[in-house]
Amino acid sequence: MSDLDHFIRWYKNPLSVLYGDDDAGFPILMITFPLLERYLRNLTEADPKTKTFRRALINIFPVLLDDPTAEKFWDIFRHGLLHQATLKNIPRLRFAGVNNAASEIQSERSGFVVSPVKFSRRVISEIEADFTTFKKSATERDALAQIY
């Protein structure tokens, strides 16, 4: 079985099951953000704290517009969900939410709303279109898992 087959079986297919559950927004994002992070790290060969990484994030989600907005989004959603299992509360943020928004991300000065299903589908689509980048690893430690 190929690495792409594993990706589909381990991530894409289980996510597609979760997409039908209106209460699965956080789990969907908690699976999707590490996939996106791996892809963007491999694409840019840069850490998420860099402008290079955030520019690549903006290229996928242009609604984030600029570096400060992309940084704030990553901090609220990626760091919040994966470090504390909730959205991170930051100063001067009026709202951040998860719902069935009209697009993957709705961004305004005062906050963000993310559609977990649309966001996840977009990330999965980006990865499948450039699976070689997702698959590559800088070290043996980062290689994709194999079943033996």
Give tens-digit pLDDT for 77-111: 999 899 999 888 877 666 667 777 778 888 877 78
Lowest mean pLDDT among 42-51, 106-115, 126-135: 106-115
What pLDDT is stored for residue 138 in this prediction?
A: 66
Question: Residue 139: its pLDDT value, please?
Answer: 67
Amino acid identity, position 27:
P
The b-or-e profile of 61-93 (16+ CB within 10 A means b, else e) is beebeeeebbbbbbebbbebbeeeeebbeeeeb
Q: Is the pTM of this model over 0.75?
A: yes
